[in-house]
Amino acid sequence: MKDLTILVPLFNEEESIDLFLNATGPVLEGLNLSYKYLFVDDGSTDGTLKILKARAKDNPAINYISLSRNFGKEAALLCGIKKSDTKAIIPMDIDLQDPPDLIPAFVEKWKEGYNMVLGVRKNRDSDSPAKKFLSTWFYKVHNFFARRPIPENTGDFRLLDQNVAQAIKQINESTLFMKGLFNWAGFKTASVGYVRPNRAAGGTKWSYWKLWNFALDGIFNASTIPLRLWTYFGALTAGLSFLYAAFIILKVLIFGKDIPGYASLAVLILFFGGVQLMSIGILGEYVGRIFSEVKHRPTYIIKEEKLND
């Protein structure tokens, strides 16, 4: 069994593959460990797979899997973890935003006995102000609801040992949020700080809309508390309306009949209409996820693969 898999999901990244191999190669050679690359081509439509095949011919350390279409980074990562058979796995982005220089630090912590070593971003300077703002709020909301809060400013860049990998291999969910799942696995965890550089080549594969939906997946996968909130809110409004009814009855008894006020009525109807739609929406988020889980469709489909020992 080899020591280390460098697991790289990639989608339309033809210009980054050689940059990545050149940057990681010397670091991996210097480790004194046996290692392999596992590239998971997430349904690229450019020359990504062709380049992978060419590089794999020259270099036996290069393994690849190609998915039948774009299933998303989370599915590609899960596929790679299920297929790897080494003592440790380090998932990395191909764009060198996960600095290869950190690998020796991860390995050192692993040798000290940690099961998972997180790469924690020291700052978010390479993100746009909007992305910074949104990610801060994402962690706030997620960790407010989640049973197990996720450490802020971490991504998928980390080292997993066999215990963590074994836990992840058992997962068969179709709505995936890998960061949450790694965290769910538990085990002894250390962290190493780093500064995230800008992309080496190409552009981001994430639009704000994709990120927003991803954030919702993260939150709704982490907890059912958003469902329960409506119970409390319902109890609160029921209690308040009881008090209000008592107040009206007393007022009529003391001062006699009042002029009807429809402004306040209209506001109340609109408010509770909105509240009900929102709570139905939240229910829908869960029902939708139940629907996609009960179908039990495979999370990804492999088109072809080349896996060496």
Residues that bind ligand UDP (CB under 6 A): 9-11, 13, 42, 70, 72-73, 76, 93-95, 97, 204-206
In terms of CB distance, is 8 or 190 closer to ligand UDP? 8
Q: How far separated are the first and last CA of the chain, in Å rounded?
A: 8
Helix, strand or coil for residue 202?
coil
Bridge-based pairing of strands 62-67 and 116-121 is: unpaired
In terms of CB distance, is 92 or 107 closer to Mg ion? 92
Among ligand UDP, Mg ion, none, the one that 10 touches (CB under a kind-dependent 5 to 8 A) is ligand UDP
Q: Which of these segments, 86-94, 107-115, 138-146, 246-254, binds Mg ion (CB under 5 A)?
A: 86-94
In terms of CB distance, is 109 or 179 closer to Mg ion? 179
Among ligand UDP, Mg ion, none, the one that 21 touches (CB under a kind-dependent 5 to 8 A) is none
Among Mg ion, ligand UDP, none, the one that 121 touches (CB under a kind-dependent 5 to 8 A) is none
Identify the sign of the CA torsion 261, 262, 268, 272. Answer: positive
In this structure, what token pair is assigned to residue 83? 């297929």
Answer yes or no whether residue 98 interacts with Mg ion by CB under 5 A: no
Buried residues in 234-249 as b, exposed as e (16+ CB within 10 A): eeeeeeeeeeeeeeee
Q: Which residues 6+ apart lie within 8 Å of 162 measured at CB?
A: 87, 88
Tell me the closest approach of the beta carbon of residue 239 to Mg ion, in angstroms. Answer: 49
Answer yes or no whether residue 95 interacts with Mg ion by CB under 5 A: yes
Q: Which residues 6+ apart lie within 8 Å of 288 measured at CB?
A: none
In terms of CB distance, is 73 or 142 closer to Mg ion? 73
Answer yes or no whether residue 154 interacts with Mg ion by CB under 5 A: no
If one counts every other C-beta atom within 10 angstroms of the C-beta of residue 253, the result is: 8
Give the binding site for Mg ion (CB under 5 A). Answer: 93, 95, 97
